[in-house]
Structure 1
Amino acid sequence: MSFKGKRLAKEYKDLVSNQVPGITCEATDSFDTLVIQVSVLDNPLYIDDSYRLRFIFSDKYPFSPPQVQFIDKIPIHPHIYSNGHICLNILGNDWTPSQTVASISMSVQSMLASNNLNQRPPDDDNYVKHAPENPQHSSFYYHDDTV
Protein backbone atom coordinates (compact mmCIF):
# COMPACT_ATOMS: atom_id res chain seq x y z
CA MET A 1 0.00 0.00 0.00
CA SER A 2 1.28 3.48 -0.87
CA PHE A 3 2.08 6.12 1.73
CA LYS A 4 -1.10 7.99 0.69
CA GLY A 5 -3.15 4.80 1.09
CA LYS A 6 -1.72 4.04 4.54
CA ARG A 7 -2.26 7.60 5.70
CA LEU A 8 -5.87 7.68 4.45
CA ALA A 9 -6.63 4.24 5.91
CA LYS A 10 -5.49 5.55 9.31
CA GLU A 11 -7.50 8.77 8.90
CA TYR A 12 -10.60 6.81 7.90
CA LYS A 13 -10.24 4.48 10.89
CA ASP A 14 -9.83 7.49 13.20
CA LEU A 15 -12.91 9.19 11.70
CA VAL A 16 -15.05 6.11 12.24
CA SER A 17 -13.81 5.29 15.75
CA ASN A 18 -13.44 8.83 17.16
CA GLN A 19 -16.64 10.36 15.90
CA VAL A 20 -16.89 14.14 16.08
CA PRO A 21 -20.46 15.39 16.66
CA GLY A 22 -21.97 16.41 13.33
CA ILE A 23 -19.26 14.77 11.16
CA THR A 24 -19.63 11.31 9.63
CA CYS A 25 -17.69 9.53 6.93
CA GLU A 26 -19.57 7.57 4.30
CA ALA A 27 -18.31 4.09 3.45
CA THR A 28 -15.75 3.93 0.67
CA ASP A 29 -14.36 1.39 -1.79
CA SER A 30 -11.11 3.27 -2.34
CA PHE A 31 -9.17 6.08 -0.77
CA ASP A 32 -9.02 8.22 -3.90
CA THR A 33 -12.30 9.87 -2.89
CA LEU A 34 -14.05 10.23 0.46
CA VAL A 35 -17.43 11.77 1.23
CA ILE A 36 -17.97 13.39 4.61
CA GLN A 37 -21.35 14.47 5.92
CA VAL A 38 -21.29 17.67 7.98
CA SER A 39 -24.04 19.00 10.21
CA VAL A 40 -24.01 22.22 12.19
CA LEU A 41 -25.66 21.79 15.55
CA ASP A 42 -25.71 25.33 16.88
CA ASN A 43 -26.43 27.80 14.08
CA PRO A 44 -30.06 28.56 13.13
CA LEU A 45 -28.99 29.22 9.51
CA TYR A 46 -28.14 25.52 9.10
CA ILE A 47 -30.30 23.81 11.72
CA ASP A 48 -31.75 20.45 10.62
CA ASP A 49 -29.53 20.48 7.50
CA SER A 50 -26.60 18.30 6.62
CA TYR A 51 -24.14 18.80 3.79
CA ARG A 52 -21.81 16.48 1.93
CA LEU A 53 -18.16 17.28 1.25
CA ARG A 54 -16.28 15.36 -1.42
CA PHE A 55 -12.55 14.93 -0.88
CA ILE A 56 -10.44 13.91 -3.89
CA PHE A 57 -6.86 12.94 -3.09
CA SER A 58 -3.93 13.16 -5.49
CA ASP A 59 -0.94 10.84 -5.23
CA LYS A 60 0.89 13.74 -3.54
CA TYR A 61 -1.38 13.66 -0.48
CA PRO A 62 -0.62 14.56 2.35
CA PHE A 63 2.06 16.85 0.93
CA SER A 64 -0.53 18.65 -1.17
CA PRO A 65 -4.13 19.36 -0.14
CA PRO A 66 -7.08 17.34 -1.37
CA GLN A 67 -9.72 18.86 -3.61
CA VAL A 68 -12.62 19.58 -1.28
CA GLN A 69 -16.03 20.84 -2.29
CA PHE A 70 -19.65 20.58 -1.32
CA ILE A 71 -21.80 18.27 -3.43
CA ASP A 72 -25.57 17.90 -3.79
CA LYS A 73 -26.82 20.63 -1.45
CA ILE A 74 -24.62 23.73 -1.10
CA PRO A 75 -24.84 25.80 2.10
CA ILE A 76 -25.25 29.55 1.75
CA HIS A 77 -22.15 31.22 3.19
CA PRO A 78 -19.98 34.22 2.22
CA HIS A 79 -17.02 31.86 1.51
CA ILE A 80 -18.89 29.08 -0.29
CA TYR A 81 -19.70 29.47 -3.96
CA SER A 82 -22.92 28.10 -5.42
CA ASN A 83 -20.91 25.43 -7.31
CA GLY A 84 -19.64 24.02 -3.98
CA HIS A 85 -16.15 25.52 -4.08
CA ILE A 86 -14.90 26.66 -0.67
CA CYS A 87 -12.71 29.70 -0.17
CA LEU A 88 -10.66 28.42 2.78
CA ASN A 89 -6.94 29.13 3.13
CA ILE A 90 -6.01 25.69 4.54
CA LEU A 91 -7.15 24.15 1.24
CA GLY A 92 -4.58 26.23 -0.62
CA ASN A 93 -1.57 28.30 0.40
CA ASP A 94 -1.85 27.54 4.12
CA TRP A 95 -1.98 23.76 3.66
CA THR A 96 0.31 21.66 5.86
CA PRO A 97 0.67 17.86 5.89
CA SER A 98 -0.48 17.88 9.52
CA GLN A 99 -4.01 18.63 8.27
CA THR A 100 -6.33 15.63 8.05
CA VAL A 101 -9.75 14.86 6.67
CA ALA A 102 -11.10 15.32 10.20
CA SER A 103 -9.36 18.67 10.76
CA ILE A 104 -10.55 20.01 7.39
CA SER A 105 -14.09 18.80 8.11
CA MET A 106 -14.04 20.45 11.53
CA SER A 107 -12.71 23.69 9.99
CA VAL A 108 -15.58 23.72 7.50
CA GLN A 109 -18.07 22.87 10.24
CA SER A 110 -16.66 25.70 12.39
CA MET A 111 -16.82 28.09 9.45
CA LEU A 112 -20.53 27.29 9.08
CA ALA A 113 -21.20 27.41 12.82
CA SER A 114 -19.74 30.92 13.17
CA ASN A 115 -21.51 32.39 10.14
CA ASN A 116 -24.30 34.93 10.66
CA LEU A 117 -24.67 36.11 7.04
CA ASN A 118 -27.14 34.34 4.79
CA GLN A 119 -25.37 35.25 1.55
CA ARG A 120 -23.01 34.01 -1.14
CA PRO A 121 -19.62 35.59 -1.93
CA PRO A 122 -20.06 38.96 -3.69
CA ASP A 123 -18.57 37.60 -6.94
CA ASP A 124 -20.48 34.28 -6.94
CA ASP A 125 -22.13 34.63 -10.38
CA ASN A 126 -18.92 35.63 -12.14
CA TYR A 127 -16.79 33.08 -10.32
CA VAL A 128 -19.15 30.17 -11.06
CA LYS A 129 -19.30 31.14 -14.76
CA HIS A 130 -15.51 30.98 -15.09
CA ALA A 131 -14.48 28.54 -12.34
CA PRO A 132 -12.33 25.54 -13.17
CA GLU A 133 -13.74 22.14 -12.27
CA ASN A 134 -10.95 21.66 -9.73
CA PRO A 135 -11.21 24.35 -7.02
CA GLN A 136 -7.43 24.13 -6.46
CA HIS A 137 -6.95 25.81 -9.83
CA SER A 138 -8.75 28.91 -8.57
CA SER A 139 -7.16 32.04 -7.21
CA PHE A 140 -9.55 32.98 -4.46
CA TYR A 141 -9.95 36.56 -3.31
CA TYR A 142 -10.62 36.65 0.42
CA HIS A 143 -13.38 39.27 0.73
CA ASP A 144 -13.84 39.21 4.48
CA ASP A 145 -11.84 37.17 6.99
CA THR A 146 -14.34 37.82 9.78
CA VAL A 147 -16.89 35.25 8.54
Structure 2
Amino acid sequence: MTSSSSPSRKALSKIACNRLQKELAEWQLSPPAGFKHKVSDNLQRWVIEVTGAAGTLYAGETYQLQVDFPEHYPMEAPQVIFLNPAPMHPHIYSNGHICLDILYDSWSPAMTVSSVCISILSMLSSSPAKQRPADNDRYVRNCRNGRSPKETRWWFHDDTV
Protein backbone atom coordinates (compact mmCIF):
# COMPACT_ATOMS: atom_id res chain seq x y z
CA MET A 1 0.00 0.00 0.00
CA THR A 2 1.37 3.42 -0.87
CA SER A 3 0.51 6.83 0.35
CA SER A 4 -0.80 9.66 -1.76
CA SER A 5 1.43 12.01 0.23
CA SER A 6 4.78 10.82 -1.09
CA PRO A 7 7.41 13.48 -1.56
CA SER A 8 8.86 14.26 -4.96
CA ARG A 9 11.33 11.46 -5.49
CA LYS A 10 14.86 12.36 -6.47
CA ALA A 11 17.55 9.73 -6.44
CA LEU A 12 19.38 9.40 -3.15
CA SER A 13 22.77 11.05 -2.90
CA LYS A 14 25.82 8.85 -2.39
CA ILE A 15 25.95 9.98 1.26
CA ALA A 16 22.28 9.04 1.76
CA CYS A 17 22.78 5.62 0.11
CA ASN A 18 25.80 4.85 2.27
CA ARG A 19 24.06 5.96 5.44
CA LEU A 20 20.90 3.98 4.69
CA GLN A 21 22.85 0.84 3.82
CA LYS A 22 24.67 1.16 7.15
CA GLU A 23 21.41 1.73 9.07
CA LEU A 24 19.76 -1.22 7.33
CA ALA A 25 22.70 -3.51 8.18
CA GLU A 26 22.57 -2.40 11.84
CA TRP A 27 18.78 -2.87 11.88
CA GLN A 28 19.11 -6.43 10.55
CA LEU A 29 21.65 -7.26 13.29
CA SER A 30 19.73 -5.59 16.10
CA PRO A 31 16.24 -4.28 15.28
CA PRO A 32 14.56 -2.06 17.87
CA ALA A 33 12.13 -4.02 20.07
CA GLY A 34 8.61 -4.03 18.68
CA PHE A 35 9.58 -3.27 15.07
CA LYS A 36 10.03 -5.29 11.86
CA HIS A 37 11.38 -3.93 8.59
CA LYS A 38 9.44 -5.35 5.66
CA VAL A 39 12.22 -6.27 3.27
CA SER A 40 12.10 -4.80 -0.23
CA ASP A 41 14.62 -3.72 -2.82
CA ASN A 42 13.68 -0.05 -2.41
CA LEU A 43 16.24 1.68 -0.20
CA GLN A 44 14.39 4.99 -0.50
CA ARG A 45 11.10 3.74 1.01
CA TRP A 46 10.96 1.49 4.04
CA VAL A 47 7.79 -0.05 5.42
CA ILE A 48 8.13 -0.88 9.09
CA GLU A 49 5.71 -2.87 11.20
CA VAL A 50 5.27 -1.59 14.75
CA THR A 51 3.62 -3.54 17.56
CA GLY A 52 2.22 -1.70 20.57
CA ALA A 53 4.15 -2.21 23.80
CA ALA A 54 2.79 -4.45 26.55
CA GLY A 55 0.91 -2.61 29.27
CA THR A 56 -0.14 0.28 27.01
CA LEU A 57 -3.39 1.18 25.22
CA TYR A 58 -1.84 -0.23 22.02
CA ALA A 59 -0.55 -3.52 23.48
CA GLY A 60 -0.42 -6.20 20.79
CA GLU A 61 -1.86 -3.94 18.08
CA THR A 62 0.13 -3.80 14.84
CA TYR A 63 0.51 -0.81 12.54
CA GLN A 64 2.70 0.04 9.57
CA LEU A 65 4.96 3.04 9.17
CA GLN A 66 6.08 4.23 5.77
CA VAL A 67 9.44 5.99 5.79
CA ASP A 68 10.40 7.94 2.66
CA PHE A 69 13.99 9.16 2.54
CA PRO A 70 14.83 12.43 0.78
CA GLU A 71 17.75 12.88 -1.57
CA HIS A 72 19.87 14.51 1.14
CA TYR A 73 19.16 12.20 4.08
CA PRO A 74 20.36 12.43 6.88
CA MET A 75 20.78 16.20 6.53
CA GLU A 76 17.05 16.31 5.82
CA ALA A 77 14.48 14.36 7.85
CA PRO A 78 12.65 11.43 6.30
CA GLN A 79 8.91 11.65 5.81
CA VAL A 80 7.28 9.22 8.23
CA ILE A 81 3.57 8.40 8.16
CA PHE A 82 1.33 5.61 9.35
CA LEU A 83 -0.29 3.58 6.60
CA ASN A 84 -4.03 3.04 6.85
CA PRO A 85 -5.39 2.33 9.40
CA ALA A 86 -3.44 4.76 11.55
CA PRO A 87 -3.66 4.31 15.32
CA MET A 88 -6.12 6.50 17.22
CA HIS A 89 -3.82 8.94 19.03
CA PRO A 90 -3.95 12.66 19.93
CA HIS A 91 -0.92 13.34 17.68
CA ILE A 92 -1.71 11.03 14.77
CA TYR A 93 -4.18 12.13 12.11
CA SER A 94 -6.50 9.68 10.39
CA ASN A 95 -4.51 10.13 7.15
CA GLY A 96 -1.41 8.82 8.96
CA HIS A 97 0.38 12.15 9.43
CA ILE A 98 2.28 12.33 12.72
CA CYS A 99 2.71 15.52 14.76
CA LEU A 100 6.11 14.81 16.32
CA ASP A 101 8.80 17.50 16.45
CA ILE A 102 11.76 15.22 15.62
CA LEU A 103 10.22 14.58 12.21
CA TYR A 104 10.31 18.28 11.40
CA ASP A 105 11.77 21.19 13.43
CA SER A 106 13.88 19.12 15.83
CA TRP A 107 15.37 16.70 13.29
CA SER A 108 19.10 16.04 13.68
CA PRO A 109 21.36 14.14 11.26
CA ALA A 110 22.50 12.14 14.29
CA MET A 111 19.04 10.51 14.43
CA THR A 112 18.43 7.16 12.75
CA VAL A 113 15.42 5.20 11.59
CA SER A 114 15.72 3.17 14.80
CA SER A 115 15.73 6.26 17.03
CA VAL A 116 12.71 7.68 15.16
CA CYS A 117 10.84 4.38 15.58
CA ILE A 118 11.61 4.28 19.30
CA SER A 119 10.34 7.87 19.67
CA ILE A 120 7.11 6.98 17.86
CA LEU A 121 6.60 3.91 20.05
CA SER A 122 7.27 6.03 23.14
CA MET A 123 4.69 8.56 21.94
CA LEU A 124 2.15 5.77 21.46
CA SER A 125 2.97 4.19 24.82
CA SER A 126 2.47 7.41 26.78
CA SER A 127 -0.99 8.18 25.40
CA PRO A 128 -3.71 8.31 28.07
CA ALA A 129 -6.54 7.92 25.52
CA LYS A 130 -7.24 6.63 22.04
CA GLN A 131 -8.55 9.69 20.24
CA ARG A 132 -7.83 11.74 17.16
CA PRO A 133 -6.41 15.28 17.31
CA ALA A 134 -9.16 17.85 17.85
CA ASP A 135 -8.57 19.33 14.37
CA ASN A 136 -8.39 15.95 12.57
CA ASP A 137 -11.26 16.45 10.12
CA ARG A 138 -10.16 19.95 9.06
CA TYR A 139 -6.52 18.92 8.73
CA VAL A 140 -7.27 15.79 6.68
CA ARG A 141 -9.61 17.76 4.43
CA ASN A 142 -6.81 20.30 3.82
CA CYS A 143 -4.36 17.51 2.99
CA ARG A 144 -6.32 16.17 0.03
CA ASN A 145 -4.49 16.13 -3.29
CA GLY A 146 -1.39 14.52 -1.84
CA ARG A 147 -0.11 17.15 0.56
CA SER A 148 2.94 15.96 2.48
CA PRO A 149 3.11 16.34 6.27
CA LYS A 150 6.38 18.22 5.65
CA GLU A 151 4.30 21.00 4.06
CA THR A 152 2.46 21.52 7.35
CA ARG A 153 3.49 24.24 9.76
CA TRP A 154 3.19 22.16 12.91
CA TRP A 155 2.62 23.72 16.31
CA PHE A 156 4.34 21.60 18.97
CA HIS A 157 2.63 22.61 22.17
CA ASP A 158 1.67 19.36 23.87
CA ASP A 159 4.54 17.44 25.43
CA THR A 160 2.32 15.33 27.69
CA VAL A 161 1.69 12.63 25.08
Smaller-chain TM-score bracket: over 0.9
1:15 matches 2:27: yes
In structure 2, distance between residues paired with 1:93 and 1:127? 19
* Match of residue 153, structure 2, among 117, 139, 147: 139
Map of 1:106 onto structure 2: 118
Could you list the runs of 4 or more consecutive aligned residues of structure 1 that deviate by over 3 angstroms after TM superposition?
none
TM-score normalized by the length of structure 1: 0.94
Q: Which runs of 5 or more structure 2 residues have no equivalent in the other structure?
A: 1-12
- Mapped contact 1:16–1:24 kept (Cα < 8 A): no
* Match of residue 91, structure 2, among 79, 99, 122: 79
1:59 matches 2:79: no
- With a CA cutoff of 8 Å and minimum separation of 6, indicate the structure with the bigger relative contact order: 2
In structure 2, distance between residues paired with 1:28 and 1:5? 15
Map of 1:2 onto structure 2: 14
Map of 2:130 onto structure 1: 118
- Percent identity over the alignment is 39
TM-score normalized by the length of structure 2: 0.86
> How much has 1:133 moved relative to structure 2?
2.4
Map of 2:81 onto structure 1: 69
In structure 1, distance between residues paired with 2:160 and 2:135? 17
Q: CA RMSD in A?
A: 1.4
AA partner of residue 146 (structure 1): T
In structure 1, distance between residues paired with 2:148 and 2:68? 10
For these two proteins, the number of residue pairs brought into alignment is 147
> How much has 1:60 moved relative to structure 2?
1.1
Q: Residues 143 and 43 (structure 1 numbering): CA distance in 2 closer, same or farther, change over 3 Å?
A: farther
In structure 2, distance between residues paired with 1:62 and 1:43? 33
In structure 2, distance between residues paired with 1:44 and 1:91? 23
Q: Which runs of 5 or more structure 1 residues have no equivalent in the other structure?
A: none
- Mapped contact 1:39–1:50 kept (Cα < 8 A): yes
Partner SS, residue 53 of structure 1? strand
> How much has 1:19 moved relative to structure 2?
2.1
Partner SS, residue 84 of structure 1? coil
Partner SS, residue 127 of structure 1? helix
In structure 2, distance between residues paired with 1:48 and 1:42? 7
> How much has 1:48 moved relative to structure 2?
2.1
1:89 matches 2:89: no
